[in-house]
Amino acid sequence: MSFPARPRRVALISVHTSPLAQPGIGDAGGMNVYVAQTAQRLARRGIEVEIFTRATSSAQPQIERPLPGVTVRNIAAGPYEGLDKRDLPAQLCAFTAGVQRAEATQRPGYYDLVHSHYWLSGQVGWLVSDRWGVPLVHTAHTLAAVKNASLAEGDTAEPMLRVIGEQQVIDEADRLVANTDTEAAQLVSMYNADPARIDVVTPGADLDCYSPGSRAAARAELGVADDETVVTFVGRIQPLKAPDVLIAAAAPIIAAADRGERSKVRVLVVGGPSGSGLDRPTALIDLAAQLGISDAVTFLPPQPPSKLTQVYRASDIVAVPSYSESFGLVAIEAQACGIPVIAADVGGLGVAVDNGRTGLLVAGHAIGDWTNALEKLIDQPAERAGMGRAASAHAQQFSWEHTADQLLESYSRALRSFTASVGSGERGHRRWRRRRLSRAGV
């Protein structure tokens, strides 16, 4: 059996969220952007991409073709509405059956490779790659063990079901794609992954969309006063993303501005409730009221890319205070627009932000430390402007074109190793051995 040097057709599995969904709504976030952007870039290179995702509305067509070379298949699995990620493990059987039925209508060998995104998709990818006799590439995007090691106060730990499910997929995948060297090391230390099967592929930003532009025009469009220093949060509203840390840290600065001790400061929060944040959808509004700064905090719903670009351009600083972040696309998008970033020094944010040059990294989530970091940039506009210029240059090395190039290299490695392992019988032996060790409790 032989395979092409690079895939002709790839099946991307994205169970819980569609690449066509608006990031910031429900469970849609950076992974949506990643799947959509990499699919588009792969298609431009002549690779046909088919994306399998769960249908969330009866109005959705079974098949959508948003771009030449990209097909989205909306698979019916469970009720269209009312389910979130926590409910989806019970629907994986139905989803897998739908994927299998779609493949059964094609000629044998239709897909050359499966690339799964997030552990739920990995469970499906593992089964269909075995069935189709093709390699499995898996990107975790987030890891339960990492999230549980740095939970926000009041947040809910990821269940053991997910931890076990992730371990199974990591054991079975032919290649693992990590966003950073840090994530690669976590896969090894926390999941005993084989380092030889890990490829580090750095995510990017749409540099054609996110670029420096007129601050005045952006502020006029958003209705933001020109004399305010704007600190912006963009993301899903949930404890993991820690927007409450930003609001609490900004409160004493806003109070000082009210006393005339410094320029006016406005906090701009862009996003919608998600995950455990759905339990308290008004928590941030209540916090701002409790701190007495409601007039200085503006909330906007999730924005499409063209509008989000204007949000970044209208900002003086973008804050990414997450407790866990495998990379942090918001940090790159903001920097591509020439805006410095203050971020928590967790996960991939240490790669996304060049500390002291394009922004600041804050160790931990102590409110005082975040207040100090904000004050440093708010009170030094010249240094902030210099960081913005450096940020725009820094972001140029993170493009989706580069990400697609790296993914293709990973796909080629997967195809080569798969061909060799099938020919030698090693692949079947490797999987048999894993299952035997698992049953033995090793």
Q: Which residues are annotated as a binding site?
A: 16, 22-23, 27-32, 85, 118, 142, 162, 236, 241, 303, 312-313, 315, 325, 333
**CB crowding 63-94: b at 16 or more within 10 Å, else e:** eeeeeebbbbbbbbbbeeeebebbebbebbee
Mark the binding-site residues for UDP-N-acetyl-alpha-D-glucosamine, compressed into ranges: 22-23, 30, 236, 241, 303, 325, 333
Alpha carbons 254 and 266: distance in angstroms, whole number: 8
Task: Quote the strand ranges of 33-122, DSSP E.
Answer: 48-54, 63-67, 70-75, 113-117
Give the residue among 84, 91, 80 at the shortest CA–CA distance from 26: 84
Give the list of residues 6+ apart from residue 223 with CB closer than 8 angstroms, or none: none
Q: How far apart are CA 167 and CA 183, in angstroms?
A: 15
Side chain identity at 187, as an amino acid letter?
L
Classify the phi-psi angles of 355: left when phi > 0, otherwise alpha if psi is within -120 to 50, otherwise beta: beta
Under DSSP, is residue 242 helix (H, G, I), strand (E, B) or coil? coil
Distances (CA, A) of 427 to 183, 194, 433: 25, 14, 10
Two tokens, residue 38: 């990499």
282 DSSP 8-state letter: T
What are 276's two structure tokens? 């455990």
Q: Binding site for 1D-myo-inositol 3-phosphate: what residues are annotated?
A: 16, 27-32, 85, 118, 142, 162
Rounded Cα distance, 309 and 31, in Å: 19
> Do the strands 229-234 and 297-300 form a parallel or antiparallel pair, or are they unpaired?
unpaired
**187 and 193 Cβ atoms separated by less than 8 Å:** yes
Token pair in block for residue 68 = 């030449």
User: Which H or E element spans position 265?
Assistant: strand 265-270
Q: How far apart are CA 146 and CA 224, in angstroms?
A: 38
Q: What would the two tokens of residue 433 be?
A: 């051995």
Q: Give CA–CA dist 77/54, Å, rounded.
A: 6
Tell me the binding residues for Mg(2+): 312-313, 315
> Which tokens sit at 285?
């509004």
Q: Provide the total of helices (H) and of strands (E) in the chain, helices listed first.
A: 16, 14
At position 88, the amino acid (one-letter code) is: L
The H-assigned helical ranges of 79-209 are: 92-104, 119-132, 144-149, 160-172, 181-191
Chain-centroid distance of CA 144 in Å reads 14
